[in-house]
Amino acid sequence: MEKRKIGTLEVSAMGLGCMGFSHGHGPAPEHDEAIKLIRAAHDKGCTFFDTAEGYAKGANEELVGEAVKPFRGDIVLATKLHIPENPDDLGKAVRQHLDASLKRLQTDYVDVYYQHRMNKTVPAEDVAVVMGELIAEGKIRGWGQSQSSEDEVRRAHAVTPLTAVQSEYSMMERMFERDVIPACKELGIGFVPFSPLGEGFLSGKYTERDVFVGDDVRRAITRYKKENIRANQPLLDLLHRIAGEHEATPAQIALAWMLCKEGFIVPIPGMRSIARFDENFGACDVKLSSDDIARIEGELSRIEIHGNRTDEDIIGFDYR
């Protein structure tokens, strides 16, 4: 797979979002099957793996740590922490979270350590100071923010350069195109889209008849309401049309669209089968011309998206 740079780190052009192996997308594969799949992604050229302390209360970090152990040194392993509000000692709080993650991941360093959500009471600059110390100590190689504003990116980056910003970005959610993505371009920061397939919607494989169960966040995602699945059909029609022209699939076009935009964009779709690895990683080989992109942009500008941003929908979602 093609390689890209996020900050100073080199990664495969597409990463693997590992959340669904334990959390958030309904019944997870058995442990051994999940280990096999994560390793298979590496065999297929993926060198960028994404987890978080919050996915299944640390169980996802344990799973990913075990899976990547045989090739730990060859990959970029990213995890995330939620920083408590009003910490007595910010450095101590972050170190406690990091040490627990390192133990679960069976490693002594994290490549990209993300602040999972921005804090109300902890200035971005203060977090950047602590992350700078952790880089100097060799406990992390780089760091990032998730769902941050342009202002938060700039203020933090001025203190300790950011490796990556990881935020929701897809044909269904483009608010970061306005300011954060241009700021990443200017400052040499990678941009890592999460939910790049709109939680799978952009694959065109889900219909009104699908029922989501258990901890599947799509129970709460309004873009998956029956009436919104119908109302968002024009977007799928566009994807099917462009896919037909390129002998590709809608998911591949949705991913190729963002890959073709900027070389510092590295999506991390969640996927749990070899067939989906082949399909989604295959998007790296779909080359959209500037004419294709212009046509897609023109059509997208006329398509209204029905349903909220993911963050708005999942506040208060009960993952049990």
Ligand X SMILES: NC(=O)c1ccc[n+]([C@@H]2O[C@H](COP(=O)([O-])OP(=O)(O)OC[C@H]3O[C@@H](n4cnc5c(N)ncnc54)[C@H](OP(=O)(O)O)[C@@H]3O)[C@@H](O)[C@H]2O)c1
**Residue numbers of the site for ligand X (CB under 6 A)?**
17-20, 25, 50, 116, 146, 166, 194-200, 203, 205, 251, 268-273, 276, 279-280
Cβ-based nearer residue to ligand X, 146 or 228: 146
Least Å distance, CB 243 to ligand X, is: 12
Cβ-based nearer residue to ligand X, 50 or 53: 50
Residue, CB closest to ligand X? 17
- 272-275: which pairs have CB atoms within 8 A and are 24 or more residues apart? 272/20, 272/21, 272/25, 272/28, 272/29, 272/34, 272/37, 273/37, 274/37, 274/40
Stated length of the chain: 320
**Rg over CA atoms, the chain:** 19
Cβ-based nearer residue to ligand X, 15 or 161: 15
Is residue 169 part of the annotated active site? The answer reads no
- Residue 173 to residues 23, 177, 194, Cα–Cα distance (Å): 22, 9, 10
Cβ-based nearer residue to ligand X, 133 or 306: 306
Q: Give which of 55, 52, 42, 43 is closest to 16, Cα–Cα.
A: 42
For residue 301, the tally of other CB atoms under 10 A from its CB is 7
Catalytic residue among 55, 113, 114, 169: 55
Least Å distance, CB 170 to ligand X, is: 6
Least Å distance, CB 12 to ligand X, is: 15
**For helices 59-68 and 31-43, angle between their N-to-C axes, nearest 10 degrees:** 50
Q: CA quadruple 94, 268, 318, 119: dihedral positive or negative? A: positive
Least Å distance, CB 89 to ligand X, is: 25
| Catalytic positions | 55
